[in-house]
Amino acid sequence: MSILKAGTKAPDFRLSCTPDQTLSLSEFRGRNVILAFYPADWSPVCGDQLALYNEILPMFKQHNAELLGLSVDGVWCHLAYRKDRKLAFPLLSDFEPKGEAARLYGAYRYKEGVTERALFVIDGEGTIRWSYVSPLGVNPGAEGILDALEKLAEKEVR
Amino acid sequence: MISEVKLRVPVTDADHAQGPKDAPLVLLEYGDYQCPYCGQAYYIVKQLQQALQDELRFVFRNFPLSQIHPDAVSAARAAEAAALQRKFWGMHDTLYENQDNLDLESLLEYAAELDLDVSKFITDMGSRQVEQRVANDFQGGVRSGVNGTPTFFVNGFRYDGDWSYPSLLNTLQAVLAHMSTR
């Protein structure tokens, strides 16, 4: 299964971000959104990756971009993980039906039952402008996201 | 093991470096003084320098992950403030050898031990110049694909292998051998 490519309309979804709140992609219309699918809370590479994104949230904000992390972990797990790692961005639970949002994006690994380590940059009109899937054990860093956001900004200026 | 991810901020004279300028191998580390893995890597780099001698130039840039390491930014500023008194490497080594004590009081103690002008050190630590230096290192690192700490670059390309001593040494020696056959 391959992930959705640039130019595709980003499928909407509504997922829990805390035990009593949900978020949908369409709420972010008018702003850029970064979707960071990752295999699981607590696993070492994810930790580094999300810690890095947490650190550079101001760089994302400069590009009017909101970051959403997504995995199949449940809300209570996300809550504990966010607290432990002091993450300042939402983690969404793609938990029931399991991996439904990831499947829409072609970012679900059926064999392992986890999401891919996949990144999507979506513009304010809800179109995917950049996507990337990284090997599970490899931390993709942030330069691809920032390059994509910069390209978006160039187009807006023109 | 060496990726195609390219260092976007080239090494210049403004960098903190050890080893000859014309060394065939340049190992660059983006590191965080409070990161325990960087603490391990510190000793590995020392071994590599020992083994490769004048073949190796080692460059260090700041990549403090302040959200998980609350003392990392002030430690990075301490090293940069020491650099303004030509004691960057003294402070760098002291910080990695005392990773468990990076609070402000300890930083001032280290400055005194290194015979720094402590009041200048305090002023410099809080200066715009030093703040900007650390922030620039960090942003340049992000743009170069630094994805955690430590991240190493070998002759301008990100090293994605494990950074144990044997594996880094093998990689560096292989690069060296490749260069001499050309």
Q: How far is CA B94 from the centre of its chain?
A: 13
Amino acid making up residue A91: L
Active site residue A77: no
Q: Which residue of A has its CA nearest to B35?
A: A48
Residue A54 CB coordination number (10 Å): 20
CATH code for the domain of B53: 3.40.30.10
A75 three-state secondary structure: helix
Domain assignment of residue A72, yes or no: yes
Q: What is the pLDDT of residues B50-94, one digit of tens each?
A: 999 999 999 999 999 998 899 999 999 999 999 999 999 999 999
β A65-71/A32-37 pair status: parallel
All residues at 6 or more sequence positions from A40 whose CB lies less than 8 Å from its CB, including other chains: A46, A71, A72, A73, A114
- What is the reported pLDDT for A83? 94
pLDDT band at B17 (very low <50, low <70, confident <90, very high): very high
Q: What is the pTM of this model?
A: 0.89
Residue A1 banded pLDDT, cuts 50, 70, 90: low
Model pLDDT, residue A47: 65
- How would you label A30-52 residue by residue, b for 16+ Cβ within 10 Å and e otherwise? eebbbbbbbbbbeeebbbbbbbb
**A94 is in which domain, residue-wise?**
32-157
CA distance B135 to B140: 9
Interface test with A, best of B9, B32, B68, B69 (most A CBs within 10 A): B68
Preceding peptide of B150 cis, ω within 30°: yes
CATH number of domain containing A46? 3.40.30.10
Q: Do A52 and B145 make contact, defined as CB atoms within 8 angstroms?
A: no
Ranges A10-19, A86-95, B1-10, B16-25: which has the least confidence: B1-10
For position B180, what pLDDT does the model report? Answer: 83
In a domain? residue A47: yes
- Do the domain assignments include residue A15? no
* Residue A5 forms part of a structural domain: no
Supply the pLDDT for residue B68: 86
- Residue A18 resides in a domain: no
Could you say which DSSP state residue A3 is in? P
Number of domains in chain A: 1
Residue of B2, B138, B147 best to disrupt the A interface, most CBs of A under 10 A: B147
The pLDDT value given to residue B10: 96
ipTM score assigned to the predicted complex = 0.81
User: For residue B43, what are the domain limits?
Assistant: 2-181
Cα A9 to Cα A128: distance, rounded to the nearest angstrom: 6
Tally of domains within chain B: 1
Instruction: Kindly report, residue by residue over A25-83, the tens digit of the pLDDT.
Output: 999 999 999 999 999 999 877 668 999 999 999 999 999 999 999 999 999 999 999 99
Q: What is the pLDDT of residue B147?
A: 87
